[in-house]
Amino acid sequence: MILEVIIAVIIGVIFGCISGLTPGIHVNLLATFLLALSPFLLQFTSPLILSCIIIVMAVTHTFLNSIPAIYLGAPDDSTILNVLPGHKYLLQGKAYEAVKLTVSGALFALIIAILLSHILIKIIPIIYEGIKEYIGYILLLASLFLIIREKKRFWALIIFVIAGIFGLAVLNLNLKNPLFPLLTSMFGIAGLLISLKDKVQIPEQIITSPKILSKETFRAISSGTLVGTFTSMLPGIGPSESAIISSQLTKLK
């Protein structure tokens, strides 16, 4: 069993590297492939090992997907927020610092999540039972918050409505997995095309060491972990929306 787990970890790391470093390939796509092959794979291994591969793959993806988001401007749905601040660092020659800060935040958040997992497993079902009847209203308030914080609120509202109509149309198509072409085109291909069109001259990058252990870092990680834990129970709110809400909470402190 130990040898099988080690092999599963190695396979998960390899697949996570592929999805994390390749623009347009999301970890969910590889997980879907594994699930599709599961009837064949389960003849040689157990569901526990397949689950181990998927978990390791997802964790590895989380640490690596900031690299194409910052250096290439080709984010996926969980790193779209890295484009603007990440590119600011990139144009200043500090892309390495941006990646290091992103990876450090992911590492600390993972450690906190592991330490609190025993408590969260018991608390989250209780919280969900209390809010499940009001999830629609919570999503509406979160959407209004994201629209109001924009400078061009009218266009933000228009884009929000168009995105909703587009989503309803796609989900009503006769496709087994409509989200794959949808997310790939919107987050992968679109980002690459914009990067090619802009033709930005990337300056020579320098290796700098940001201050990781600071009060600002602790505030960002704590608010991100808190908001991420809560929004993970809500459909329609992903890591990017959680990061925006978390960043606003950090500014208010």
pLDDT tens, position by position, 129-151 = 887 788 788 888 888 887 887 78
Three-state DSSP state, 98: helix
Contact present, 108 and 221 (Cβ < 8 Å): yes
Residue 180 — very low, low, confident or very high, per pLDDT cuts 50/70/90?
A: low
Token duo for residue 206: 């320098």
Chain-centre distance for alpha carbon 220: 16
5-30 confidence digits (pLDDT tens):
888 889 889 988 888 888 767 777 77
For residues 179-202, average pLDDT: 65
Q: What is the pLDDT of residue 167?
A: 82
pLDDT of 158 reads: 93
Most confident listed range (94-98, 159-163, 219-223):
159-163
- Inform me whether the pLDDT recorded for 170 exceeds 70: yes
Q: Residues of the chain with pLDDT > 90: what percent?
A: 2
pTM over 0.85: no
Average pLDDT, the chain: 76
The pair of structure tokens assigned to 169 is 């149309």
Residue 207 has pLDDT above 90, yes or no: no
Cα(105)–Cα(84) distance, integer angstroms = 17
pLDDT score recorded for residue 163 = 83
Average pLDDT over residues 89-118: 79
Q: Residue 143 is encoded by which pair of tokens?
A: 């959407």
Q: How far apart are CA 50 and CA 85, in angstroms?
A: 36
Tokens found for residue 205: 């990058």
- Whether the pLDDT of residue 241 is over 80: the answer is no
User: What is the structure's pLDDT at 252?
Assistant: 47
Which structure tokens are listed for 234? 């809500």
Report pLDDT for 4.
83
Residue 240 pLDDT greater than 70, yes or no: no
CA-nearest of 178, 172, 194, 165 to 69 is 194
